Structure formats: structure tokens, C-alpha cells
Chain A
């Protein structure tokens, strides 16, 4: 499968383009890095690719067809702040089940302990919560995973553990992955290709 964004233009306010003329494509099985300074629209591009925002110009295509408006979205985005991405009133098992059936072995690989499943989000740390968000996004129906600073707030060992799992699932399920990170080493170790938004983005 091929996820491609063509000539994307986006702005939050009039005459202040965040993105202009951005092209990006991700092939299934590929791990692509997206780098650029703060405020260059990395997160916005991710939100557009995952269908959270509609671009003003250009279009996002999945195998040449537009993204589905309803139903399970094949492009899943993992946010930077896991505590906002889970319902504070739900126990974790319910949050996990929201996306549908999951591969049980995935929980063990991500280091999710059984007793965490019965807890509320405020009884878990940010790193523990983020594992749940990753597990939820790694649904069997997911074709592309976008990681927006997914492991920025985790310690190095946990980062390595989570990326190891994501990498393995991506290989097994033939997922395309887009990694946003300020960590040059992480991008260097993980990605087969790097896109630099300072070069691609033609905003004026």
C-alpha cells in the first residue's frame, strides 16, 4: 500500500500558511523519519495524514483513493501526550478494547502488566499509559502508524523497548511507519529514509 500526500497546503489563520506544497509518500513496510524545527508543521502534517484535519490545498491518497471519512481509519496517529489520549473515566482494559480485538502477545511485548488493565489512567505513569496508546493503535486493521514524538517523554530503555516492538510488528504486518522525533540518534537507528520539512515545505 502507498500513503501519499500531494501538494498539501494548510493554515490555521488567513495568510499564515503552516504547510505549502508539501509532498510526502510512505510505502508499506517502510519506516520514514520526519524532521524539522519546531513550528514547521510536522504535527499538523501528521494530523492531516491521519484525517484529523482537512488540508486547504492538495489531497491525501491511500493507494490512489481518498481516505475513508468514517469507520476504522487505516492511518492511526499516536499522540505525544498519552494522558489526553485516554478517557480518564475508563479502566485501561476498556480503552484497549475500544479499537477492537487485539493480539494478546503484544501486551506482554510492550511490557503491559495484567494488573494495569483494571486501573484508571490517573493510576498509571505517562510511560505506562503510552504503551497502552501504542497497543491500541497497533490494531490488526491499521495499515500506517504515525508516531508524533511518541516516545519523547520516556526513558531510553523504555523507548528502545517500545520501538523494538513497533519495528517488529511493522515488519510482520507490513505496516508503514512515520516517525517524528527531535532525537537524531533515534531517527538514524530506526528509519530507512528521512524527510526534512525545511526542504519540502515551501511556505512563504
Chain B
């Protein structure tokens, strides 16, 4: 088995894990997380592998549901952020000095304000909830990636094969879509992967502060912040299993992004 096949297999495994979590969250009905005071505060057992919480709800079902909410928020927000970064980065590098100055100013402005402050402001203005969190994360996380893409496009614009393409009579738009955009895809994938855990963690922290998702949508951040109160009484499983699961999901995304970058790069086609 060569390295490319190994990469493909790990990619498929990571993707299956993510799809599995989302699919099982859809299959698990509300009766799985119904309260049952007879079995509250139980440590992990065969019937409840992740234990139960102070209301007797099964932690495995809650974790899976929470992960799928978090993945949803993370994917939507990180994708929107990456798209904003791509568009603004490309515009800044190709549309001339005035546009570049305006976009660079915007990037500096947003980088100057701490993420969380801008996120709270946007989320609060939009009335909180899922929409507020997603829009808030999408609007605050693009600047660093936009800066990378702008620099990359600027470098690529003076590459010899792009200059030659101009002299072969190709238009700006043709060059941007055929030469420059495909080169940005690895950057975009890596940027997206780096954004994803940020998005989940910021979603968790803003939910923790009470400005994000409501406690009825048990995202992983809410589960973790709720468990804080019970940790001191020795109920370690409330934080341990959801935390480990979150780490695994983030790592799965990491592997997925890294491998996609490798697979799209012709330099590693024969490894």
C-alpha cells in the first residue's frame, strides 16, 4: 500500500466519523435524553457508557446531539468566514490600490478588536440564538485568513506563468479563475480547518456567557459549562467524555483538511 492510499483511507475514516456523529444525532429522538430521576448521577456503566447527569439523562445521547449542533455551527460559520476571506483577499490583491487600502484597513480594524468582544456585540445585536452565533463567528474570524490569501495572490500575480498568460491574450477574469483560484484551494482548506475549532470554542464561550445558544440546544459548550458545577462533587464523566469527543472531532477535521490538501497537490501525486 502506498502513501497516497493510506492518506485516502484515513481521510475516509475521518469523514465517516463526522458523518456518523451527525447521522446518529438525527436518529436519536428526544426520548433518549428524557429526564429520569431514578438513574440520576450514575457513573459510566454498560447501559450508559458515558454515565448520566443530575437529571438522569443519558450523557452519550447528549454528547452526540451536542457534537452535531457544534459541528453544524462550526461548519457553517467557518465556511462563511473562509468564503468572506477568499473574496476580500482576492479583491484586495487584484482590484487596485484603493480597494486594497480599504480592505486592509478593515482587516486591521477587526484584528485590533478582540474576537470575543466583536462576537458578543454582533451576536447581541442579532438577538443571540443560533443565527446570532453563526453570523457573529462568520463576521469575526475571516481577517487573518484574508490577509494570508491577499499576500498569496499578490505573489502569484507576478509569477512568470501568470505574466505569460496575460501576453497570450487571456483576460484578468480568466487568469483569476483558472490560474489563481485553484492555487488558493489548499490555503483555503487549511484556513478552514484552523477556523473550525476556533468557531466551536467561541461558540462554547459565548454560550457560556449566556449570549449564544439557549440551554435547550445542548451544544458541547453548554454541556461543558454546565458540568463545571458538578465536577467538585466527583462527577468527572460529565466533562471528561464530552471533552474527549470534542477533541476527537476537531482532530478528525484536522486530518481531513490536511489530507485533502495533500491529495490536491500534484507534488505528492506519486507518494
- Return B125 CB to nearest CB of chain A, in Å: 42
Q: A120-B266, A120-B269, A122-B267 are in contact. Are A85 and B160 (CB under 8 A)?
A: yes
User: When chains A and B are docked, how far (Å) is the Cα of A88 from the Cα of B269?
Assistant: 12
From B266, which residue of chain A is reached at the shortest CB distance? Answer: A120
Structural contact, B167 and A84, CB atoms closer than 8 A: no
The prevalent SS among residues of B at the interface is helix
Binary CB contact string for chain A from 114 to 139 against chain B (1 if under 8 A, 0 otherwise)? 00000010100000000000001001
A-B contact pairs, 5 of them (CB 8 A): A73-B168, A81-B160, A84-B161, A85-B160, A120-B266
User: When chains A and B are docked, how far (Å) is the Cα of A79 from the Cα of B162?
Assistant: 13
Structural contact, B161 and A89, CB atoms closer than 8 A: no
Structural contact, A72 and B168, CB atoms closer than 8 A: yes
Structural contact, B161 and A71, CB atoms closer than 8 A: no
A-B contact count (CB 8 A): 47
- Return B174 CB to nearest CB of chain A, in Å: 10
From A77, which residue of chain B is reached at the shortest CB distance? Answer: B167
Interface residues on A, range: 20 to 34
From A84, which residue of chain B is reached at the shortest CB distance? Answer: B160
Task: Judge if A99 is at the interface, Cβ distance under 8 Å.
Answer: yes
Task: Judge if B169 is at the interface, Cβ distance under 8 Å.
Answer: yes
A sample of 14 more A-B contacts (CB under 8 A), given A71-B169, A84-B160, A99-B168, is A52-B163, A52-B167, A70-B171, A72-B168, A73-B168, A76-B167, A77-B164, A85-B160, A87-B161, A88-B267, A100-B169, A120-B266, A120-B269, A122-B266
User: When chains A and B are docked, how far (Å) is the Cα of A162 from the Cα of B170?
Assistant: 27
Task: Judge if B183 is at the interface, Cβ distance under 8 Å.
Answer: yes
Residues of B within 8 A of A52 (CB): 163, 167
Task: Judge if A98 is at the interface, Cβ distance under 8 Å.
Answer: yes
Residues of A within 8 A of B182 (CB): 89
Task: Judge if B159 is at the interface, Cβ distance under 8 Å.
Answer: yes
- Return A145 CB to nearest CB of chain B, in Å: 12
Per a CB cutoff under 8 Å, which of B161, B169, B170 touches A85? B161
Q: In residues 77-114 of chain A, which contact B (Cβ within 8 Å)?
A: 77, 79, 81, 84-89, 98-100
Residues of B within 8 A of A58 (CB): none
Binary CB contact string for chain B from 122 to 166 against chain A (1 if under 8 A, 0 otherwise)? 000000000000000000000000000000000000011101110
Task: Judge if B261 is at the interface, Cβ distance under 8 Å.
Answer: no
Residues of B within 8 A of A147 (CB): none
Per a CB cutoff under 8 Å, which of B159, B161, B167, B179 touches A73? B167
